[in-house]
Chains A and B, each alone.
Chain A
Amino acid sequence: MLSGLLGGALIGAAATLYWVATGRTAGVSGILGGALREPQARAERLAFLAGLVAAGLIAALASGRASASVTATPVLLVAGVLVGFGTRIGGGCTSGHGVCGVSRGSLASLVATATFIATGAVTVAIASRVLGAGGAP
């Protein structure tokens, strides 16, 4: 729990730095969507994404292993499309709605966060029984 709080605090500090630098919310799905579609501010969005990748690289070098996906490739493909589509239609993901929006007291972000946690929980409950994969490790 302590590592969760510490990591969360760093995420909050990073979101603040992104807002100070750009005036925009540090929502990862929004940053990726913007980098793909909008020519303006593309460099600073790509730089944020490159920073994320660099952190993963350093973590893998430090620990000597990659994060292990628990999911089969066809399921990952379906999940990726749903996450990309859903976050753009819904206007945000765990960072944009869950952290930044909730911090700003946005009712819409609270509703969005409650919604994706609820459907995520139902999905895990069904997948752990039907697929036998995922669910409880």
Chain B
Amino acid sequence: MSGRVIATFAAGGLFGVGLVISGMTEPRNVIGFLDFFGHWQPRLIAVMGGAVAVYAGLVALIVRAAGARTARLLPARNNRIDTSLVVGSAIFGVGWGLSGYCPGPAIASLGSGARGAFVFVAAMIAGIVAAGVVRSRAAGCETTSP
């Protein structure tokens, strides 16, 4: 097994432990955050804030230590705001609000044997496949235009 595969397994494990510790694998906590007009629970702000601060800080440190070579490897910063970004995110939010699951916590919850997580992840994979079909059709249209 390559070192890279071991590293990404460790990254997934650490990511999952972070989700469990922060309570994000419990759908009721996520729905509580989205319940602005009811009993609002602000905890998800702390989770996102902690994750953003550590990721931004560590990436900046690594880039500074390793120099320009690493800076070129930074993930591209996407600044293109288009219809698919907004419509896709809006659709995602509806599913997130209905279930309290987003992709990370849902996949981590498979390990806990939560029956709802299996139902959700199977449906999510179907949605991903459907999006692939829609996007490849859209790309096909683009290539036929001048």
Contact = CB atoms under 8 A, between A and B. Distances in A.
A51 B46 contact: no
A24 B112 contact: no
Contact of B54 (A16, A26, A71): A16
B104 A19 contact: no
B137 interface: no
A16 B70 CA distance: 13
Contacts of B20: 7, 55-56, 59
Contact of B52 (A4, A12, A69, A71): A12
Given A59-B112, A80-B122, A45 B8 contact: yes
Contacts of B127: 80-86, 88
B95 A80 contact: yes
B128 A32 contact: yes
Given A51-B11, A76-B116, A83-B124, A7 B23 contact: yes
Contacts of A19: 59, 75
Given A33-B132, A91-B88, A57 B99 contact: no
A87 B42 CA distance: 23
B5 to A, nearest CB: 5
Nearest to B80: A108
Interface string B93-131: 111111111111111111111111101111111111111
23 contacts: A7-B19, A8-B53, A10-B17, A11-B15, A13-B58, A14-B13, A16-B58, A22-B8, A36-B125, A56-B16, A56-B108, A56-B109, A66-B115, A68-B114, A71-B99, A79-B98, A82-B92, A83-B95, A84-B124, A95-B102, A106-B78, A112-B89, A128-B35
Given A51-B13, A87-B103, A128 B81 contact: no
Given A21-B11, A84-B128, A11 B79 contact: no
Interface of B: 2, 4-28, 31-32, 34-39, 42-59, 62, 73-75, 77-81, 84-117, 119-132, 134-135
A20 B62 contact: yes
Contacts of A73: 116, 119
Contact of B95 (A26, A56, A78, A95): A78
A8 B34 contact: no
A76 B126 CA distance: 13
Given A55-B20, A117-B34, A134-B31, A83 B6 contact: no
